[in-house]
Amino acid sequence: MLIRSRVPLRISFGGGGTDVSPYCEEYGGVVMNATIDRYATVSLFPFSDKTIEIESIDYDAALKYDVDQFLAYDGHLDLIKGVVNYMRKTYDVHHGFKLRIHNDAPPGSGLGSSSAVCVAVVGAFRHWLNLPMTPYEVAELAYYIERKELGIKGGKQDQYAAAFGGFNFIEFNSTKTIVNPLRLRNDVVCELNHRLVLAYVGGSHDSSKILGSQIKNMASGNEETLTSLHKAKEHAIAMKAALLTDNLDDFGLLLGEAWESKKHFTAGITTPKIDVIYEKAKSAGALGGKISGAGGGGFMFFFTKPDKRYAVTKALQEEGIQIVNYSFTEIGLHTWEVRCP
C-alpha cells in the first residue's frame, strides 16, 4: 500500500506581503487568493527495512539515509528533510519509507509551489501515522517548518491556500489565522476563469531575497513600504467585495491598482521586461493584472475586458510569453491510498 498526497497551487490576487512578519503581527494582514488545477503531489511508500529515500522527479535527484539519521540541511530538498526530521522526532518514527515528489510548477514560479510541497509532505505523514490534524494545524505546521525551523523568508498564505483550497479571504494577526471561504456563484467563477489570462513570463524569482528586503524596510520604518502594504490590504478587502457582488470589471481594475502598490514594497518586484509585458496586455484590452507571488518573474495574470481575452492572449504570445490553461479548484489537501500489485 502506498499513500498519495496532493495539494493545489494558488494565484494570489491581493494582499500578498501583508501576511509576512512583522506586518501581520503589528497591523493585521489579509490576502485574497484562489487555488488552481496545478498540483504538488507526494507519494509515500512505507518500507520494512531501515532506510529513508527521497526522490524528486523535478530535480532528478535521489537521496538515501539510515532511518535514525538526522537529515542535514544543505540546500538539497531541505523542505522535505525538515518535515521528515520533525515527524521522526515528534512521533518517534522508526519505520523505513520512500518519498517521491512532483510539482506542476517550479520554485520561484509565484504560485506557492514550495510551500505546497511542504503541506503535501505533512499531509502524507498525517495519513500514514493517522494524526488527528485539522487543515489549520497542517498549514501551521508547514509554516513552522518552512519559516521557523528552516528560516526561509516568506508569509503564511501559501500554506493555508494549499491546505484549504478554493477561493479564500484569509486574515492574519499575532494570535491566529482565520480562513474565510468565498461562496461565489458558478457563473462568476466561470467568467473569472475565462477572462483571467495566466501567463508565464519566465525567469524564476528569489522570493526569500525579495521578502527579506521587504522585512528590512518594515523594520527600519520605511514609509513607502508601509503605506504600500496598507494599500495592498485595502485592495484585498475591495476585491472580496467585488467578487461577492459580481462586479468583475471592478475586480479587474483593482488588480491593476494592487500591482501599482505592490511595486513599492521593495526593489526587484518588477523588471523592465515585466513592465513592457504589462503595458502590452493593457493596450490589447486588459483591465489590470499583476505578478502572482513575491515578484521578479514567474507567473503573471491579466484580467481582460469581456471581449478581449483573445486579443490579450495574442499580444502576449507575440512577446514570446507562454499562456497556461487552467481551472479553479475547490479541493485543498487530499490524501488517499493505492494498493500496489
Residue 297 Cα distances to 176, 177, 271, 277, angstroms: 31, 28, 8, 11
Mean pLDDT in residue range 167-196 = 96
Kindly state the helix (H) or strand (E) to which residue 299 belongs, with its residue range: strand 298-304
CA dihedral in degrees (21, 113, 335, 102; nearest 10)? -150
The pLDDT value recorded for residue 237 is 97
For 326-338, how does the pLDDT look when each residue is reduced to its tens digit (9 = 90+)? 999 999 999 999 9
The pLDDT value recorded for residue 208 is 65
Residue 29 Cα distances to 2, 25, 180, 183, 293, angstroms: 39, 8, 13, 21, 16
For residue 41, the cross-strand partners are: 6, 102
Query: Among 62, 107, 70, which Cα is nearest to 89's?
Result: 70
Query: Among 287, 300, 252, which Cα is nearest to 111's?
Result: 300
**Cell numbers at 295, concatenated:** 515578484
Active site residues: 158
For 87-133, how does the pLDDT look when each residue is reduced to its tens digit (9 = 90+)? 999 998 888 999 999 999 877 788 999 999 999 999 999 999 999 99
Secondary structure E strands in 67-195: 96-103, 167-172, 177-181
For 267-304, how does the pLDDT look when each residue is reduced to its tens digit (9 = 90+)? 778 888 899 999 999 999 999 999 887 777 789 999 99
The whole-angstrom separation of Cα 144 and Cα 124 is 17
96-103 vs 51-56, strand pairing mode: parallel
The pLDDT value recorded for residue 253 is 97
The whole-angstrom separation of Cα 26 and Cα 273 is 35
Kindly state the helix (H) or strand (E) to which residue 210 belongs, with its residue range: helix 207-219
Question: Phi, psi (5° rounding) for residue 231?
Answer: -65, -40
The pLDDT value recorded for residue 102 is 96
Residue 94 Cα distances to 1, 67, 88, 170, 242, angstroms: 18, 6, 7, 37, 51
The whole-angstrom separation of Cα 336 and Cα 333 is 10
What percent of the chain has pLDDT above 70?
A: 98
The whole-angstrom separation of Cα 289 and Cα 270 is 13
Domains and CATH numbers, the chain: 2-183+329-338 (3.30.230.10), 186-323 (3.30.70.890)
For 182-206, how does the pLDDT look when each residue is reduced to its tens digit (9 = 90+)? 999 999 999 999 999 999 987 655 5
Q: Are 204 and 298 in contact (CB under 8 A)?
A: yes
